[in-house]
Chains A and B, each alone.
Chain A
Amino acid sequence: MSLLIEAKDIYVKRQGKNILENVFIQINKKDFITIIGPNGAGKSMLLECLMGTFSPDSGIINKKNNLSIGYIPQNFNPDNSMPITVKRFLMLKKNFNINNLKKVSGETKISTILEKNLADLSGGELQKVLLARSLLSDPELLILDEPAQNLDIKNQLNFYNLLNNVYKSRAISILMVSHDLHMVMASTKQVICLYHHVCCSGEPQTVAKDPEFVNLFGNDMAKMMSVYQHTHDHVHSENLND
């Protein structure tokens, strides 16, 4: 196992409250880790700390040298006041090269929408474009913050399939925040349940039985989690505690 990034004893304090406390997380090559947790649990904050766009109040973050990270932000809603095609948007990426664009747009199935206006895209198309953009720099680690949040169930499935293909064909690592438990159960290898601190982590089945998980999400959710491990062909409410 080769280590890509590791965070130890991470603390972030806001207005006297710990947003993150004593968080430990380790991402190795080919890991597929999903972070779950209620709203305001500090999930996005943890991602920012790992990416280095936010420095925690204390703690250590060790990164592999020149670790290249691709990132897909939460709630990406381009505004129609700026006219910009998908292609131009992708070209804004640092060290852009056109051959890479061809490869990536085939991989994420966006070749037909490259000339479309960014603000005219559907939710599903937009997420594919963001995935394509994050892949342009050939990242070793992909960080996604609730990537399928605003998609309907069909587009969610499509997106997670695409993500899975990318994960397999590129042999990269993925760290994702997601509430889509049915998808998480199907693809992820490791679940981290975060509520300011790491409540529990491990394989999805193990996490679902953990008393801390039951405590945080309730018995119903724990039952639902175990249902998802066996059948993926029907839909439950995805709402967590909020």
Chain B
Amino acid sequence: MIEPFLIRATIAGIGVAIIAGAIGCFVVWRKMAYFGDSLAHSALLGVALGLVLGISTNLGTIIICTLFTILLIWLQQKQILATDTLLGILAHSALSIGMVTLSLLEKSVDLHSYLFGDILAVTTSEIYLIISGSLIVLVFLYHNWSSFVLTTINEKLAKAEGLNILINQLLIMFLMTIVVAVSFRIVGLLLITSLLIIPAATARQLSHSPETMAVLASFLGIIAVILGIYSSLYFDTPSGPSIVVSAVIIFIAISSASFLIKKIR
């Protein structure tokens, strides 16, 4: 008999892995890893906001991450500072304000579970949230796939063919916001970027089209999540880092295998 908490963890993990894999491809293609990291850092302020206002921490995260994205794009247009400098300022100020706010709260907060995730403690209502978040992301991805891919390949070409670059860019960032908001309970704020990047980077080596890369990244993410959950139970290790370690092992195995195959040929 499988424990209910394990079933919940597995469902939550699969839901998150699917969207993280697909969105992660855009993170890799568009070189947005640092943006993902910054978004995740700022999510801690969202958690604090959620606790202060007494709303759900996921909702707080979505609000803060959306504001973060809008602020970033606005500052980017001003062209005063380089994007990575802006990201660094925004991310670390949000993280620090979040930490300070959390420490001022009377309630005791399990900071560790926010930073590194606790997939085994996922509740049923969080699962509903993950599933609905995933569905939103998948629907948007499906409907805008060609525009997203073309915008990613070349913005001028996309613009000349009538696509709105800013809206496409905002949509991709907004989808990343949803991924961060629904998945920080799984792998934690500090490790979300790895769930976005590692499966996508692994899938890159096995694919010949953007579509297969996205599907494969989701699939590899699912394997990493399941391996992580069960190894975390078996070895009694923290679940979030265990998932990332599994993803890294898959990455190394596939990278070395494809390197060897290329050499032999």
Contact = CB atoms under 8 A, between A and B. Distances in A.
Interface of A: 51, 53, 69, 71, 73-74, 76, 78-79, 81-85, 88-89, 92-94, 117-118, 133
A114 B112 CA distance: 51
Contacts, number: 56
Contacts of A85: 208-209
Contacts of A71: 156-157, 160-161
A79 B150 CA distance: 12
Interface string B149-165: 11011101101111000
Q: Which of B31, B161, B162 has most A Cβ within 10 Å? A: B161
B204 to A, nearest CB: 7
Given A82-B153, A82-B213, A93 B161 contact: yes
A83 B162 contact: no
Contact of B207 (A83, A92, A93): A83
Given A82-B210, A94-B161, A73 B204 contact: no
Contact of B159 (A53, A83, A117): A53
Which range holds the interface residue count of chain B? 20 to 34
Contacts of A81: 28-29, 31, 204
A51 B158 CA distance: 12
Chain A, interface SS category: loop
B146 interface: yes
Contact of B156 (A74, A79, A84): A74
17 contacts: A51-B160, A53-B159, A71-B156, A73-B156, A73-B160, A74-B156, A81-B28, A81-B29, A81-B31, A83-B207, A84-B153, A84-B210, A89-B153, A92-B146, A117-B208, A118-B153, A133-B157
Contacts of B150: 92
Contact of A94 (B152, B154, B162, B207): B162
Contacts of B157: 71, 73, 76, 133
